[in-house]
Structure formats: structure tokens, C-alpha cells
Amino acid sequence: MELRRIQNASVEDKTVLVRVDYNVPMSEGSVGDDTRLRASLPMLGNLLERGAKIVLMTHLGRPEGRVVEELRLGPVGASLGSLLGKPVVCLEDCVGSNVAEAVKAGASGEIFLLENTRFHREEVLNEAGFARQLADLADVFVNDAFATLHRSHASTLGVTDHLPSYAGLLVQKELAALAPLLGEPARPYVAVIGGKKAKSKLGPLRDLVSQVDVVLLGGGVAFTFLAALDARVGGSIVDAAVFDEILEIKAIAEERETQIVLPVDCLAAEQLSADAPTRIFEADAVDDGWMGLDIGPRTIEQFREQIFEAQTIVWTGPMGAFEIAPFDAGTRAIGEAIAKSDGYSVIGGGETGEAAVRFGIDADVSFISTGGGACLALLQGKPLPALDVLIDA
């Protein structure tokens, strides 16, 4: 892959438009987790050292083309300024004459943060005129938002029609870290897949069962899978609309001789509350009125055995409602097993990455991706439109 790398671009005394991923958790008007801000610091430091003026653009949340006050980027800019030790100028919009004039008047070494790009519906539509307005702010474009590479948006793809475009340091780091999972990964290759919504994981699961040796299922994905196989799962989260697809995936796994390991027991409660009484059930025999909220102790041991035998591991999605004890035990145990494993391990960003940080294992896994969707798309062999345009033919 012959990437056009930002290290090879001339940026001195130029304005560089940088697509970053600052879609961060917010808590009471402040940044709740600055991991993604910190991930961008090497790229920003590189550009500052080389005498560039920086214009940052990102989305936050899903405002769907409307201005949503709670999704303004002022708090993000303030947090970023604290990390950098220098001011970040937060602009009132991401396009328009006032924005263009402010950027033009800035000096080399200044950093501007455009307002949430998704306040404009033209962003997700990759509308040509909107992309041109963004591009007109700068001389060079660098995409350092790995998590958005699977998106064909104006700020990720459209701007590349108008500016010399390069891959940023974080994008390069992510691609290098994920390379061992592509081609001929070391085996056994184990995928750990969880999360609340089965529908969002079935596409990746369908492709991964053709690539890995073992799949360990937890969370709502597992309960939906069990329910599709006529198990009794009580009030556990289930998406009945995907039962047919699950049966198709099961058939593919059997044909490929890929082992799908389902929970054998689960920790359940009548409601999701730290104070709720809990019971251990067989995973396929949960009483009505009870919901499975975590994998159980026997499942944890089975999953640990598979993980310790693995040479390559990818993990996306928690095993249960990890935000609330005691339903965090499964996710914690699986994370700790992956951290102790001798295999090459990749965590696929999002809430799985947040769990790794919460449980203090982030330094002990091989790599935590900043982009769950983009990471899975890459591992599935899916197109990454915003990456493809940064590759020399």
C-alpha cells in the first residue's frame, strides 16, 4: 500500500486542513474521555514543528443536519488547548465568509477548530459545494481520523477532490498495527464479539467466520444468537428480525469449520440496576422476567481457555452491561485474559476501548484501535473510500 504520507508533504507557512476524530463522550458539558484528543497530538505536534497553520474539522454525535447546542465543539477545543498548552480558536461554523476570513487572518502556528461538520446535512451527503468550501480554507489536506475512513463524507472524501491529500500519523499507525490481522495471521485466530445490538455486529460476524478459527459471542449478540436457535432467554436483549441471518452465519461457520462458542451460563437480574438481586442461569434457560446482563463464571472460564490458546485475537463489543457492577465481571475477565495472552491482540475501539481503559488493561494489549467501524471494515476486506483516495495508483 503506497500511502501518500504527510511526512512527505511541504507544509511550512501553509494552511493544513486536518480531519480528526473528536467524536468524544461528553459529560455535563465537558469532555468525558480525551483518548481521541490525545491520539491526535503527534500529528498536531508534527505540523506545528514544521511551521503550519492548522484548521481542524470533526463531527460530534449525530445532529442530523441541525445545530444542537449540546454538540457544539467549544468544550472539545478547550480540552485540546489544555493538552497542547496553547489556545485553540473555536470558530462559529465550519463554512462561510466569517470562517474563511478568520482562518486567512491567522498566522503560522495557530490552531483553528471548525464547528461540528454534521450541523450541515451536506456533510454526510458529500455535497460537492460544501466540500469545496471546506477545501478552500487550506492548501493541504491530511486525514488523521482513522475512525472515519469508511465514510464517504465531505470532510473525509469530498475535500480530496480539491487539495493535495495525505494520510496522517494516526492513520499510518492504525494501518501498521492492523496489518498482522490481514493476509496470513498467526493461528489460532480468535474473534471475541459482544455488544448490545446484534444487527450491527452480524455483518462483521458473517465475514469473520470465514477468516478466524474461533468466535466467542457475548452480550446481546449472544442472546439473539441463542434465541434464534430456540433457546429460552427470558427478557434478555434479542433482535428477532435477524434470526434468519444468524442461521445463515451458523451455516457458513459450519461449512468453514469455524467454531462459534456461545455462553453456557449468564448472570441475570430482573432489572438493570446495581442493587438488583442477581441469579446465575443456564444461558439457554433464563426464566421469564429475568434478563441476562453478563456472561457467567463457566462461560468466562471457557472463553479464557480459548483466548490463552490464541496467537491472534480481535475483540469488539463488551460481554455485558459493563458500565454497572456486578455486570462488569465478564468484560473485565475477558479483557484481563486478552491482556495476559501471548497472542497479538487488537481491540476494536468504541466502548470496548473504553472498557479496556476502565479496567486498566489498555497498556497490556497489543493495540487499541480508535475506530471500531473502520477497524472491522478493514478486517472484513470492505472498501474504505476515504483511505483509497490517499493511496497512489
Question: In this structure, which CATH number among 3.40.50.1260, 3.40.50.720, 3.20.20.70, 3.40.190.10 belongs to the domain 182-379?
Answer: 3.40.50.1260
Q: What is the pLDDT of residue 375?
A: 86
pLDDT at site 227: 96
List all residues 6 or more positions away from 224 whose beta carbon is below 8 Å from its beta carbon. Answer: 198, 237, 238, 239, 240, 242, 243, 246
Fold matches, 6-170 and 182-379: yes
CATH code: domain 6-170 is 3.40.50.1260
pLDDT for 7 equals: 96
Give the mean model confidence (pLDDT) for residues 48-63.
97
Angstrom distance (rounded) from CA 78 to CA 88: 7
For the chain, domain boundaries: 6-170, 182-379
Q: What percent of the chain has pLDDT over 90?
A: 84
Annotated catalytic residues are: 36, 197, 350, 373
**Geometric angle at alpha carbon 26, from 75 and 322, rounded to 5°:** 155
Average pLDDT over residues 7-33: 94
Residues 6+ apart with CB under 8 A from 109: 48, 51, 52, 53
Q: Indicate the Cα dihedral angle 236, 241, 242, 244, nearest 10°.
A: 120
User: How would you classify residue 198: left for phi > 0, otherwise alpha for psi between -120 and 50, otherwise beta?
Assistant: alpha
Each residue's pLDDT tens digit, 192-226 = 999 988 888 888 888 889 999 999 999 999 999 99
- The tens digit of pLDDT for each residue in 318-343 reads 999 999 999 999 999 999 999 999 99
Q: Residue 211 in contact with residue 257, Cβ under 8 Å?
A: no
Copy the grid coordinates of residue 155: 470532510
Answer whether residue 393 shows pLDDT above 70: no
Contact 254, 260 (CB under 8 A): no
- Judged on CB neighbours under 10 Å (0-12, 13-18, 19+), 183 is exposed
Output the nine-digit C-alpha cell for 332.
473485565
The answer to which of 102-106, 136-140, 306-310, 350-354 has the lowest mean pLDDT is 350-354
For the residues 281-300, what does the mean pLDDT come to? 97
